[in-house]
């Protein structure tokens, strides 16, 4: 076990299942009573750090630390080296994530110093975070939007974190912004006209499936190939391995409402674009604190199976590069909008979009929306 002492702050490496559960629970307890924070599903968090469960760990080294003061947990952090991403981007980054702490700069510094030393000892040249093992983990320190609901798929952090990051000398590397969309009472006519034109001009059609079994039978894992192609040039992204594709399919597809899974295919029936969303689980997870038992599963299933809902999380939209700039997303929105109306959805939360990804930001121009959140990934030379 690695253990260091800075003043009365003790940094210890997490090495047991019991300590890992304490690590996860600390991250939840730190936001107790916050009406906007969304706890993770505890069971999923445990599996995230299990190499037998999470295939991303096949290409990553990682270390988990907790900070103690007077025998009380006061902070936590994960250090990560994603070898696949570093090779793809030609960098030597030591990532940090799952970084939470009480409002004490000494705690902040002790934790980040520990990860910096760990990364430096392995030949890394730069600190980068908060990010996760992959792009599908939580990433980006919240800078704006603390008084808005946090979707399950996004990172929520206390406002006091910002000053500590800046004091440590961490610098901006990338910013994401997020929108809150108010769905229209009916599908916008202009979106419909564009969708019809693109269908005809490009030989495309919308694909709907009833369940994950039908999706796998018809298309295998080509759904994820579209994501890899669309996201390959985005910040820190690295292509998924076959096992990762299977992992995400097994984890997420069985719980999806396929009314909100939209695909676009060409004349060869190849998927060229995908759109995916789900009912917001934030309130359900707050009720159970992220724990499925004894009754957390009830709140989650109730939210997933709801016939009416007010809040919706738009998780992703991806278009294959050779079909970008052709208006393909109009087909996705034209198909999704009637479902927004059917379910009574009042607010749609987008996923985080890089501030310079103008193509993705333009997707929402036809809808009533506000930019309500901003988040940032930081770097510092080691």
Residue-range domain boundaries for the chain: 3-177, 181-374
Q: Which of 26-40, 217-231, 364-378 has the lowest mean pLDDT?
A: 217-231
pLDDT of residue 327: 93
pLDDT tens-digit map of 209-220: 988 889 888 888
Map residue 285 onto helix, strand or coil: helix
6 has pLDDT over 80? no
Q: How far apart are CA 11 and CA 253, in angstroms?
A: 39
Q: What is the CATH architecture assignment of 181-374? A: 3-Layer(aba) Sandwich (3.40)
Confidence of residue 7 (pLDDT cuts 50, 70, 90): low
Joined together, the tokens standing for residue 342 give 């059917």
pLDDT of residue 1: 42
Instruction: Provide the β-strand partners of residue 375.
Output: 142, 176
pLDDT of residue 251: 80
CATH class for the region spanning 3-177: alpha beta
pLDDT of residue 220: 85
Global confidence as pTM: 0.93
Q: Where are the alpha helices (DSSP H) in the chain?
A: 17-29, 42-48, 83-89, 105-120, 161-168, 189-202, 212-219, 222-231, 242-252, 282-288, 296-304, 329-342, 358-361
* Section 357-361 average pLDDT: 91
């Amino acid at each position: 076990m690695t253990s260091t002492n800075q003043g009365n702050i003790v940094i210890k490496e997490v090495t047991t299942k019991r300590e890992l559960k304490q690590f996860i629970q600390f991250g939840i307890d730190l936001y107790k009573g916050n009406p906007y924070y969304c706890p993770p599903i505890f069971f999923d968090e445990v599996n995230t750090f299990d190499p037998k469960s999470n295939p991303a760990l096949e290409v990553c080294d990682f270390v988990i630390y907790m900070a103690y003061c007077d025998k009380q947990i006061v902070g936590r952090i994960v250090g990560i080296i994603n070898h696949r991403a570093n090779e793809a981007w030609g960098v030597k980054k030591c990532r940090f994530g799952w970084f939470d702490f009480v409002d004490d700069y000494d705690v902040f510094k002790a934790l980040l110093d520990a990860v910096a030393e760990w990364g430096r000892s392995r030949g890394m040249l730069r600190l980068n975070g908060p990010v996760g093992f992959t792009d599908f983990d939580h990433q980006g320190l919240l800078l704006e939007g603390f008084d808005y609901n946090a979707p399950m798929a996004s990172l929520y952090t206390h406002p006091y974190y910002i000053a500590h990051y800046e004091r440590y000398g961490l610098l901006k590397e990338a910013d994401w912004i997020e929108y809150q969309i108010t769905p229209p009472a009916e599908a916008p006519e202009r979106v419909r006209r564009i969708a019809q034109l693109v269908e005809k001009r490009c030989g495309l059609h919308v694909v709907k499936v009833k369940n994950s079994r039908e999706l796998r039978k018809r298309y295998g894992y080509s759904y994820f190939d579209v994501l890899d192609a669309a996201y390959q040039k985005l910040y820190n992204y690295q292509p998924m391995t076959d096992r990762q594709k299977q992992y995400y399919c097994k984890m997420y597809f069985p719980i999806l409402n396929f009314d909100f899974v939209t695909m676009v295919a060409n004349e060869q029936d190849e998927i060229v674009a995908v759109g995916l969303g789900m009912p917001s689980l934030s309130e359900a997870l707050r009720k159970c604190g992220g724990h499925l038992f004894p009754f957390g599963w009830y709140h989650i299933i109730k939210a997933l199976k709801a016939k009416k809902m007010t809040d919706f999380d738009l998780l992703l939209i991806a278009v294959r590069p050779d079909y970008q700039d052709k208006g393909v997303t109009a087909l996705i929105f034209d198909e999704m909008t009637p479902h927004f109306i059917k379910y009574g959805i009042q607010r749609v939360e987008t996923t985080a979009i890089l501030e310079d990804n103008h193509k993705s930001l333009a997707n929402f121009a036809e809808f009533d929306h506000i930019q309500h959140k901003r988040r940032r990934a930081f770097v510092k030379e080691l």
